[in-house]
Structure 1
Amino acid sequence: MTTYIMLINWTDQGVKSVRDSPRRLDAAKKQLEEMGGSFREFYLTMGEYDMVAVCEAPDDAVAARFALLLGTAGNVRTRTLKAFPEAAYREIVATIG
């Protein structure tokens, strides 16, 4: 599984119905599970982003499809980062000539 960091902001629509956001989070978790992925961690944050999620997906296409599906509901906007674990980081750096 590949790890992805999702930086999430509410849209005007999403923040107006913030009381429904835990239900929307549960639905998103279920949706990602049905696509073969999972949420590893989720945080409400203060600062530039409203929420941060650490997710796993089988591949980039699933992660992209999931991010697009989240956006179609109109409650959040996401920025998705592909994350390399420390072992992969060390391997990548070691191959630099």
Structure 2
Amino acid sequence: MHDTVLATAGWISTGTGIGNDIKSLIFDVGIPVLCGLFVLVVGWRTKAPGPTIMAVILAAVVWGGAANMSLLKDKTTQDITHYDGPASAQQGDR
């Protein structure tokens, strides 16, 4: 039996590449298709404009949130940093 270091065999980069491809497939194809399917199913089942319009709005929010994930990540990081307070604040019981 031969010992093989995973990094030299390329398994780590292969796994990273597959993970990035799957992530791109989910965000670029999967979520938009599911949002469209959601709107079609709601429109078909209810046959009413009100629920269908709300389904379109909800699908747009989900699709937009998924498309702007990096922007949302930066915003939450800023909020957490802002609410942590100054670095010189005393720690412990107050």
Q: TM-score, with normalisation over the residues of structure 1?
A: 0.29
Give 1 or 2 for the bigger CA radius of gyration.
2
Higher fraction of helix = 2
Higher fraction of strand = 1
Q: TM-score, with normalisation over the residues of structure 2?
A: 0.29
Greater relative contact order (CA < 8 Å, ≥ 6 in sequence):
1
